Amino acid sequence: MRIEATGLTKTYTTGDGRLPVLTDVSLALAPGETLALTGESGSGKSTLLHLLATLDTPDAGSIHLDGTEITSLDDAGRAAVRRDRIGLVFQQFNLIPSLTVSGNLDFQARLAGRHDPAWSATLAKRLGLADLLDRYPEQLSGGQQQRVAVGRALAVRPSVVLADEPTGNLDESTAATVLGLILELVAETGASLLLVTHSEHLAGRLGRRVHLSGGRLS
Ligand SMILES: Nc1ncnc2c1ncn2[C@@H]1O[C@H](COP(=O)(O)OP(=O)(O)OP(=O)(O)O)[C@@H](O)[C@H]1O
């Protein structure tokens, strides 16, 4: 298995007390598998994605990524996993404003020591960014910015792409195009994909889907 999460539990402590969000959540993703995660607003989808992305740690449970247990790693270890093996795409494109499209595309791969100019050029072409490489994010449309974010995530050839409402800020047709590109590129690279979405339509384009409700997956 690419990702194997077992018995994940997460409770937030807020001013109003304890808020249990995930209860004994388990899921597995095979190499190349694409999984849609749906659920009502506030059901804990982003929380689960953040745990898988090593951005947060569960109160209980384990997560294996390519056979390595990642929840017990220290901060540096988790940062290395995130940099080297995980491609993250968020609803907000999160591009670096001071870097060009080219600089943004290569950013994570350079950090990971895995910059591959030929693959980078292929990604730019496939994502329709080849003529925009010298522009800055503020000079791009939303759809173009998200294509850069997708390229940045794929440039390291990650084991897993974790995408949190990646098309939530895009119009319907641009959203469909961007999801199509994500699906093509994860298929080509053999990455597994977990995609959080509110859209039944988009969820239906993935191989499998799970639903989060009352802290549990079904
Ligand atoms: N850092 C935090 N501290 C306290 N509570 C939090 C924190 N992060 C999220 N929550 C709460 O946990 C619950 C789950 O939030 P989460 O963002 O995971 O849901 P979601 O399913 O992704 O929602 P949406 O679809 O609206 O983005 C919500 O009630 C939220 O208010």
The whole-angstrom distance between residue 190's C-alpha and the CA centroid of its chain comes to 15
Whole-angstrom distance, CA of residue 31 vs CA of residue 187: 10
Indicate the pTM of the whole model. Answer: 0.95
What pLDDT digit, counting tens, does each position of 106-151 carry?
Answer: 999 999 999 999 999 999 999 999 999 999 999 999 999 999 999 9
Ligand 1 atom at shortest distance from the alpha carbon of 43: 21
Domains of the chain: 3-217 (3.40.50.300)
| Whole-number pLDDT of residue 177 | 92
ipTM for the whole predicted complex goes beyond 0.90: yes
Residues 77/66, Cβ–Cβ less than 8 Å: no
Which of 67, 65, 39 lies closest to 52, judged by CA?
65
| Cα 79-81-87 angle, rounded to 5 deg | 100
Which amino acid is residue 1, in one-letter code?
M
pLDDT score at 16: 84
Those residues of the chain that have pLDDT short of 50 are: none
| Closest residue CA from atom 29 of ligand 1 | 42
Nearest CA to ligand 1 atom 18: 44
pLDDT on residue 49: 97
* CA of residue 113 to ligand 1 center, whole Å: 34
